[in-house]
């Protein structure tokens, strides 16, 4: 077994992350060295890292920009000495930013901070994000600092640009009060606002601490990849496709090309990724989509108003029969459930398409509680897999240890912290194709 990978993910939090240990075990069980592992809902890249650290090729896909960027830097880390060299020059530039902002602090008011405005502070040209309530979530001098750091990020080479933007994001998506915003619980579903007064030197210290943690973890990943001989061929061994909707085919993913699909799709009604990422993605100018909080393509979040649940459940009777009886009268809920299961079906169809004959797919999914009733998503998933043609379908429950895999608590689906999830395994027949 390679290095302890779990600790090397701890530079940026991500809701509902896999346990490294579990995915490593599944990957090593179902694949051999140099095989291809694909995660169509890769999130923060846990499966990709586990694949690379075990000398497998890794392809990730996600609809979310932050997920894509986070996964990408974990798949292309540099050595400790590369990061130290780069850091020396970068910190000098950071210091210049803070000096300029301190000198011009009297000019920085909300008047020149309307969303989408560009403004000059000394020789710093700053762009205010188009986020509608940017002034509500960030105080003026923090907007200036974050905009200046984002601008400095865009002047780095592509790897270091992402390193800076992800560290900036980690400084915002952090537990209050160690966060560079007024948002509490930002990594959960709905942030609450709470003001705090950070001095410029505290802001500098907080950001650099995050940056250093990013560099330490990334160089640790580099060492883990080096230990298995892939650190010098990461360009051939990994690839992250984003933003891409896993329900749709991607021309970049050939048919029958993958040995294992190892993934965890969103759970019904669970995590509002666009909302919890919006305060940090807004600083990634040039990377972020126009409509930052769009839910249009997120599984489990997009609108289901046009979804014809009656027809869908008619052709998926076995799934309907397993829905809790007490919920059947709630037409809106049934429509949203049908739409969610149909998203899983489409993701499974793409999984089937890209798997080599004989290849395995392993999905980890939770079964949450709605109005006191358990929705058995794992059972629906297994049923859909059977209809699509997978063999050897096996469902095993797994206890979620401690708060590592974090989910929101409350009315959006979970009846207290999640304690269980299910591992659903399936195999594409060796003979079949198409």
Q: Which residues bind ligand SAM (CB under 6 A)?
A: 14, 16-18, 41, 43-44, 46, 61-64, 67, 245-247, 264-266, 273, 297-299
d(CA 192, CA 148): 26
Q: Which is nearer to ligand SAM, 130 or 294 (CB)?
A: 294
| Cβ 106 vs Cβ 59: under 8 Å | no
Least distance to ligand SAM, CB of residue 144, Å: 30
Least distance to ligand SAM, CB of residue 124, Å: 33
Least distance to ligand SAM, CB of residue 14, Å: 5
Task: Find all residues with CB under 8 Å of 115, minimum gap 6, and list them.
Answer: 128, 129, 130, 131, 132, 134
Q: Which is nearer to ligand SAM, 18 or 320 (CB)?
A: 18
Q: Which is nearer to ligand SAM, 208 or 369 (CB)?
A: 369
Q: Which is nearer to ligand SAM, 46 or 427 (CB)?
A: 46
At 109, list the tokens: 């008011």
Task: Find all residues with CB under 8 Å of 185, minimum gap 6, and list them.
Answer: 176, 191, 192
Q: Which is nearer to ligand SAM, 18 or 268 (CB)?
A: 18
Dump strand ranges (E) for 222-336. 238-241, 258-263
The full DSSP string for 174-226 is S-TTSSSSSEESTTSSS-EE------HHHHHHHHHHHHHHHHHHHHHHHHHHH
Least distance to ligand SAM, CB of residue 31, Å: 17
Least distance to ligand SAM, CB of residue 219, Å: 21
Q: Which is nearer to ligand SAM, 155 or 404 (CB)?
A: 404
Least distance to ligand SAM, CB of residue 363, Å: 10
Q: Which 3-state string (H, E, C) describes 22-88?
A: HHHHHHHHHCCCCCEEEECCCCCCHHHHHHHHCCCEEEEECCCHHHHHHHHHHHCCCCHHHHHHHHH
Least distance to ligand SAM, CB of residue 298, Å: 4
- CB-based closest residue to ligand SAM: 43
Least distance to ligand SAM, CB of residue 29, Å: 18
d(CA 137, CA 279): 8
Burial class (CB in 10 A: 0-12, 13-18, 19+), 120: exposed
Nearest alpha carbon to residue 361 among 280, 275, 426: 426
Q: Which is nearer to ligand SAM, 46 or 167 (CB)?
A: 46
Q: Which is nearer to ligand SAM, 148 or 426 (CB)?
A: 426
């Amino acid at each position: 077994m390679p290095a302890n990978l779990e600790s090397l993910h701890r530079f940026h939090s991500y809701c509902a992350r896999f346990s490294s240990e579990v995915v490593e075990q599944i990957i090593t069980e179902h694949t051999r060295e140099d095989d291809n592992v694909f995660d169509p809902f890769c999130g923060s890249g846990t499966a990709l890292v586990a694949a690379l650290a075990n000398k497998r090729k890794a392809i990730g896909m996600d609809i979310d920009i932050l997920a894509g960027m986070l996964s990408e830097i974990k798949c292309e880390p540099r050595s400790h000495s590369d990061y130290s060299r780069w850091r020396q020059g970068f910190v000098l530039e950071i210091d210049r930013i803070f000096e300029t902002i301190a000198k011009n602090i009297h000019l920085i008011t909300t008047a020149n901070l309307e969303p989408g405005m560009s403004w000059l502070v000394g020789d710093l040209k700053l762009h205010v994000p188009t986020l509608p309530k940017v002034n509500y979530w960030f105080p003026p001098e923090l907007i200036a600092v974050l905009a200046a750091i984002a601008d400095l990020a865009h002047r780095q080479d592509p790897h270091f640009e992402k390193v800076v933007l992800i560290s900036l994001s980690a400084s915002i998506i952090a537990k209050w009060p160690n966060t560079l915003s007024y948002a509490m619980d930002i990594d959960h579903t709905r942030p609450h606002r709470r003001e705090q007064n950070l001095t410029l030197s505290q802001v500098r210290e907080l950001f650099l601490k995050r940056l250093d943690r990013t560099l330490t973890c990334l160089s640790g990943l580099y060492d883990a990849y080096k230990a298995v001989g892939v650190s010098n061929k990461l360009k051939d061994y990994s690839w992250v496709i984003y933003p891409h909707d896993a329900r749709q085919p991607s021309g970049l993913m050939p048919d029958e090309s993958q040995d294992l699909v190892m993934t965890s799709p969103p759970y019904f009604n669970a995590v509002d990724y666009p909302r919890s990422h919006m305060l940090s993605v807004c600083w990634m100018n040039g990377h972020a989509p126009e409509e930052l909080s769009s839910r249009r393509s997120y599984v489990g979040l997009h609108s289901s108003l046009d979804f014809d649940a009656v027809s869908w459940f008619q052709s998926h009777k076995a799934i309907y029969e397993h829905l809790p009886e007490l919920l059947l009268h709630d037409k809106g809920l049934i429509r949203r459930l049908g739409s969610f299961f149909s998203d899983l079906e489409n993701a499974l169809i793409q999984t089937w398409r890209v798997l080599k004959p004989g290849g395995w797919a392993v999905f980890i999914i939770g079964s949450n509680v709605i109005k006191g009733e358990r929705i058995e998503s794992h059972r629906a998933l297994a049923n859909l897999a059977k209809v699509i043609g997978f063999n050897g379908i096996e469902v095993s429950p797994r206890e979620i240890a401690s708060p590592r895999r974090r989910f929101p608590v409350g009315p959006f689906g979970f009846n207290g912290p999640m304690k269980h999830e299910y591992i659903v395994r399936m195999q594409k027949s060796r003979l079949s194709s198409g």
